[in-house]
Amino acid sequence: MQIIPPHKNIAREVWVQDLEFIESIRREMQAFCFKPHGKHVNGGYAVAHPQITEDALRFFVTRDGVAYLNPKIIRHTAQIVKRSEGCLSYPEIGLVDVGRWNKIEVEFQLNDGMGGFTTKREALSGLGAQIFQHEINHCEGIFIIDKIV
């Protein structure tokens, strides 16, 4: 597995028939989070499917191996906070300051292990909110260089 050059393709929604495929690459995506990549010597917090293919599905996998399917932001605060972050799609630029909402509410699906989905909602702030916004941006063809403040 490798990170491909950034592209503006919007990832398509994950369907039930995609679950077997996602499960087949989930561990490899998780392992990639721990690999040094350019200036990101500690790897990344997550990898979005659009970072590894142009024909992408709307999901990302975190370091703890969770595949977040069809993530979306339901609600957010008005306050934008400037935070430093990096991106495995831009391995040589290191950390840049990016504007992100301070608090968000997200909805996503998880594989229920029985051939379907479980839908969940969570309120996130701090690093969790930053990671979700970053990975959702990948699914929408938006990158940190588009969000530099």
Catalytic center residues: 135
- Distance in angstroms (rounded) separating the CA atoms of residues 71 and 57: 11
**CA-CA distance, 84 to 97, in Å (whole number)?**
4
- Strand order from edge to edge, sheet including 67-76: 46-48, 59-62, 67-76, 103-111, 117-125
> Hey, what's the torsion of the CAs at 130, 44, 53, 138, to 10 degrees?
10
Q: Which helix (H) or strand (E) holds 62?
A: strand 59-62
User: Hey, what are 124's tokens?
Assistant: 């996130």
